Structure 1
Amino acid sequence: MKVLFIGGTGLISQAVSRLAVERGIELYLFNRGERSSFVPQGAQVIQGDIRDKEKAAGALKDYEFDAVVDWIAFTPEHVQTDIDLFTGKTKQYIYISSASAYQKPQRNYLITEETPLVNPYWQYSRDKIASEELLLEAYQNSGFPVTIVRPSHTYGDTAIPAALTSWSNPWSLVERIRKGQPLVIHGDGTSLWTLTHNSDFAKGFVGLLGHPEAIGEAIHITSDEVLNWNQIYAAIGEAAGREPKVVHISTDFIAANTPPGTADGLIGDQGVSSVFDNSKIKRLVPDFEAAVPFAEGVKRSVAWFEAHPECCTVDQEWSKMLDGLIAKHGVDAKLLTYYV
């Protein structure tokens, strides 16, 4: 197959790019060339910016693909650009949506692809829902060959996943653990969550490329391992080599005492128990299996950062925000004795 990834070097897509090349796919990446270290050997890079529609059209005008995947489309405007660019030029267009688009809180603890899409708490999720609607309308009206994929919380070597964390400087979490500084877990830490290693996600995703039964369908791809947040933070601490100190604070209190937008993803996604039924991806891709437990995956992540000390940067503003939140909650961090 001849496949185009728009992006292709991000947290999730880098693992998919590697596996696609390993499986003999002729892979092209269309991006700005800013993360060349994550381009797998054998992939071809077409340099450009998908946000500049005219220039993107010029760079891609001589190409046709069996499948096109946009890893960086977040809004209906982004999706409309793709519809305009790739109508008649690909046999399959895969949109990367988000499992955060599912109803919050959902009516049933087990999430399937039939779970309603509604999220009044997070604009990111509402934009994904609107993008899905636009694409399905194009499929129904003109046959635009869309497949929708909904990842949940997916991580890899370059991420240390948590809830209230610094997304731009994930090593900050390990730094606080090793210094004995407290972390914050929302609620009592017993809500359920699903974390998926990007290498596992890749196995399911690559199996959907060129799959005729995936056209017009929405599919989520997640691990079957379900942990509560206390277990997740305990695993991060084990990987960091020190038992983490934690403070349990209600989600409402976190939202009320952090900068606007800080807790949107917590209220609209991570603060709600999420358990997924993966029957659909297993039916479409029978060899899909999520084989990396979180305890192992997060150890890989910590080891990767230790091997790349230039990436072990600390977000001081985030750390100050955390300390301020704990202080407002009436906890003296110096006397803290709560452990996961």
Structure 2
Amino acid sequence: MEKALNVLVIGGNRYVGKRLIARLLSEGHRVTVLNRGSSPPPAGVEQLRADRDDERSLTGALGSRVFDVVVDQVCYTPRQAAIARRVFTGRTRRYVLTSTVEVYEYEDSPALVREEAVDPSTVTVDPDQPWDDPAFLEAHYGEGKRQAEAVLAAGPEFESTAVRVAHVLGGDDDFTGRLAHYAERIRTGEPIAVPTSNRPATYVYVEEIARFLAWTAGEDFTGPVNAASPGALSTEELCAAVAAHVPGGRTEFRPIEVGEVSPFSFRRSYGMDNARAARLGFTFSDTRQWLPRAVAETLGKGD
């Protein structure tokens, strides 16, 4: 086994985070989780309770603890990143930020986008925006992540990497309800609203992104890295996988020019190139290998 690490996971209560913690434990690492304490951690994990937006609270909860690696699952704004950078200076040698494909929201190309399309060193940081306003943050999710990446990458205090995660599928605890949306539309025959020009996107299986984050914690590369399975999916392909679990259902698409569309349907491309991850030594499995299993898990149709 590789050297056991002392890892702090910020967030980690649900979905990807809880799978990341389970994987780290199974690999023999020491794990501490820091969150608001809304649910107890698994056995073998120390829990620290703090408000990550409150620098004093965060510092107090950490005490004198130091870590080999911090994996931050819930950093959404440059303010949060700036607090983290100050608090963890001298406490860790490596910082892994869970970022998102949404950082590429302005890169609309049929070609798969590479990491250099959004270089954190060129991103303008504006901490004075109303980042504490939930509506503003939701509307500027990609921008918040871009700026958080930039803040963490700017200093020499510790090494950092930003894992840009594709749209995640799978698991019986997917809280988003997106696949359930499609299952209900197909069951009732209600039209599924999609853009008139509906673009495909890349995805990643929930268990695989947890494995990738755990692997990244033990590596030493820096800078952004795309985390996505090869094989972009269209909304039609995704719905076909859902329809396999809805006997007697009917799939009808309604293309619209403007207005709200269904989840996992896109007016711009959200395809990521994963060549950097492959060069670094991690291979993602093809989307179509795990898609039937992921859909079955989420819709409660697994074995």
* Band the TM-score falls in, shorter-chain normalisation: 0.7 to 0.9
Deviations 1:165-216 (A, max 9, x none): xx46864443343233333233254x2111211111122221111312x13x
Larger radius of gyration, structure 1 or 2?
Answer: 1
| TM-score between both structures, scaled by the size of structure 1 | 0.73
Separation in structure 2 between the aligned mates of residue 57 and residue 143 of structure 1, nearest angstrom: 17
Separation in structure 2 between the aligned mates of residue 40 and residue 173 of structure 1, nearest angstrom: 33
The Cα of 1:219 is off from its aligned counterpart by 0.5
Q: What residue number does 2:129 align with?
A: none
Which secondary structure state, in structure 1, belongs to the residue aligned with residue 229 of structure 2? coil
Q: 2:140 aligns with which of 116, 120, 123?
A: 123
Q: 2:242 aligns with which of 214, 236, 253?
A: 236
Q: What residue number does 1:204 align with?
A: 212
Q: What is the total number of aligned residue pairs between the two structures?
A: 281
- 1:143-158 equivalent positions in 2, closer than 5 A: 143-158=157-172
Separation in structure 2 between the aligned mates of residue 270 and residue 153 of structure 1, nearest angstrom: 12
Separation in structure 2 between the aligned mates of residue 300 and residue 237 of structure 1, nearest angstrom: 14
Q: 1:274 aligns with which of 270, 273, 285?
A: 270
Identity %, equivalent residues: 23
Q: CA RMSD in A?
A: 3.0
Separation in structure 1 between the aligned mates of residue 100 and residue 10 of structure 2, nearest angstrom: 17
Deviations 1:290-309 (A, max 9, x none): 575222211111117x99xx
Q: What residue number does 1:254 align with?
A: 259
Q: What residue number does 1:18 align with?
A: 22
Separation in structure 1 between the aligned mates of residue 71 and residue 57 of structure 2, nearest angstrom: 18
The Cα of 1:287 is off from its aligned counterpart by 5.6
- 1:104-143 equivalent positions in 2, closer than 5 A: 104-107=106-109, 109-116=111-118, 123-138=140-155, 142-143=156-157
Which secondary structure state, in structure 1, belongs to the residue aligned with residue 44 of structure 2? coil
Q: 1:86 aligns with which of 75, 85, 88?
A: 88
Residue 109 of structure 2 contacts residue 269 of structure 2 at CA under 8 Å; is this kept in 1?
no
Gaps of 5+ in 2: 124-137
1:297 aligns with 2:286: no
Residue 13 of structure 2 contacts residue 39 of structure 2 at CA under 8 Å; is this kept in 1?
yes
Q: What residue number does 2:127 align with?
A: none
Q: 2:195 aligns with which of 186, 197, 200?
A: 186
Q: What residue number does 1:327 align with?
A: none
Amino acid at match of 1:137: A
- 1:36-55 equivalent positions in 2, closer than 5 A: 36=40, 39-55=41-57
The Cα of 1:86 is off from its aligned counterpart by 0.4
Change (3 A) 1:242 1:199: farther
The Cα of 1:11 is off from its aligned counterpart by 2.6
The Cα of 1:108 is off from its aligned counterpart by 5.5
Residue 50 of structure 2 contacts residue 58 of structure 2 at CA under 8 Å; is this kept in 1?
yes
Separation in structure 1 between the aligned mates of residue 255 and residue 20 of structure 2, nearest angstrom: 36
Q: 2:281 aligns with which of 278, 285, 289?
A: 285
The Cα of 1:129 is off from its aligned counterpart by 1.2
1:69 aligns with 2:35: no
Change (3 A) 1:133 1:286: closer
Amino acid at match of 1:157: G
Separation in structure 2 between the aligned mates of residue 211 and residue 78 of structure 1, nearest angstrom: 24
Gaps of 5+ in 1: 162-166, 256-261, 308-340
The Cα of 1:122 is off from its aligned counterpart by 5.3
Which secondary structure state, in structure 2, belongs to the residue aligned with residue 8 of structure 1? coil
